Structures are given as structure tokens and as C-alpha cells.
Amino acid sequence: DTGVSQNPRHKITKRGQNVTFRCDPISEHNRLYWYRQTLGQGPEFLTYFQNEAQLEKSRLLSDRFSAERPKGSFSTLEIQRTEQGDSAMYLCASSLVVHEGGYTFGSGTRLTVV
């Protein structure tokens, strides 16, 4: 197992464009999480899935953001009509339901909106 994989590692886009990020969790992990981290800050929770069900969404996840996990495996995070304020590192993590405690994080996707 190669851990949590995120693609792409970096994305530069023009304001107003749509972008999509992908996360492949550890194969036996049934929970998947998305976090956003801006420079010099700690990660902020966006949403999480248990299998294919999206169980919680943060108020940070505006209507321009949508996340899916169609078959309970990989997940995608799409941002429509990107704004400069969307520039951040988007982190994905996964865990087992019964695992007490920490997640396994991916290396993140750094988004720059110009």
C-alpha cells in the first residue's frame, strides 16, 4: 500500500475556471476527509465520507465546492468558478471507522488561482 495519493500535486488556474482534484485513500479505509490549509495556518475541515455517503460538510464548503466518492473508493473535490481566495493546499486523509484517533494524510494538492 502506497498510502493516500493526491493528484495533481500542483494546479495553477485562472480565476473563474473550474478545477477538480482527486484523492485515492488507503484501500481498506472506509472514511475519507478533505481539509483546506492556507499558508501559515492549520488545516480546516471541509467534508468527510463514510464509504460513498457524505456525512458532514463544513460551512467553508460553499455552493461552488462539491465532493464525491462514487464507489466508496477514490474521491474528487471540484471547485467551480474559482476565486483568488480559493488558493490553498487541499489535503485528503483517510481512516478506518473503528480506528481510534489519527488519520493518514496525503501530500496535498496546492491550488494557485491567478
Partner 1 sequence: AQTVTQSQPEMSVQEAETVTLSCTYDTSESDYYLFWYKQPPSRQMILVIRQEAYKQQNATENRFSVNFQKAAKSFSLKISDSQLGDAAMYFCAYRPIIQGAQKLVFGQGTRLTINP
Q: Note the residues at the interface with partner 1 (CB under 8 A).
A: 31, 33, 40-45, 48, 55-56, 58, 89, 91, 93, 100-108
Q: Which is nearer to partner 1, 10 or 81 (CB)?
A: 10
Q: Which is nearer to partner 1, 21 or 103 (CB)?
A: 103
- Find out whether 37 and 88 touch, Cβ atoms under 8 Å: yes
Q: Which is nearer to partner 1, 43 or 113 (CB)?
A: 43
Q: Which set of grid coordinates corresponds to residue 1? A: 500500500
Q: Which set of grid coordinates corresponds to residue 20? A: 477538480
Q: Which set of grid coordinates corresponds to residue 34? A: 478533505
